[in-house]
Amino acid sequence: MRKTKNYWTKERCKKDALKYNNRTEYNKNSVSSYSKAWKKGWLDEICSHMEIKGNKYKRCIYVYEFDDNVAYIGLTYNMNVRHQQHMKRGPVYRHESKIKLYKYKQLTDYLNVKDVKFNENFYIKKYKNNGWKLLNSATGGATGGDGQKKNVL
């Protein structure tokens, strides 16, 4: 059933937005509510409870700090997805299997890809200068995947 023109009030949009964990999910599953909130400028307020995710244009810097003074610095479009990947394979996975105690934390907000490349190198140098041994094998600044599936011909 189609909603009336003025159905989506700020309160109804807010209640609807509470069903979702991020803006992508909200927009995909409730187009009319999301559109009204966007047009009226309510999105930041009604989506404040949502997980912030990046995309191919926005990434953040993160670090794993192990109790043996070893660290891994990287960049990602989604902290949760990247953590799950690290726990399956790679240098963080191998080190975590030996040293169970670590902190996984976000070092920057989600930034423009150009800026985040610079910031990753900045944090790599900062951690090295502060005496951390790094698990990183490659230099910083590679953006990797964006989490979006590509059509392969």
pLDDT(147) > 60: no
Rounded distance, CA 18 to CA 49, Å? Answer: 8
> Rounded mean pLDDT of 104-129?
88
pLDDT at 85 over 70: yes
State CA 86 to chain mean position distance.
14
> Stretch 121-149: mean pLDDT, rounded?
76
- pLDDT for 120 equals 87
Segment 91-114 mean pLDDT: 90
Nearest-angstrom CA–CA distance, 10 and 8: 7
Residue 57 has what DSSP assignment?
Answer: S
Sole residue written with tokens 């963080």: 92
User: Which residue has 């423009």 as its token pair?
Assistant: 112
Number of helical H runs and strand E runs in the chain: 7, 5
HSE toward the beta carbon, residue 67, CA cutoff 13 A: 7
- In the chain, the domains with their CATH numbers are 10-46 (no CATH), 58-134 (3.40.1440)
**pLDDT surpassing 70 at residue 144:** no
Section 91-100 average pLDDT: 92
Q: What is the mean pLDDT of the chain?
A: 84
For residues 114-125, give the mean pLDDT. 85
pLDDT of residue 152: 30
Rounded Cα–Cα distance for residues 32 and 87 (Å): 38
Separation between Cα atoms, residue 58 and residue 15, nearest integer Å: 28
Read off the tokens for 146. Answer: 């964006």
- Write the pLDDT tens digit of every residue in 20-75: 988 878 888 988 998 999 899 998 888 888 766 656 678 889 999 999 999 999 99
**pLDDT for position 66:** 96
Distance CA 51, CA 17 (A): 12
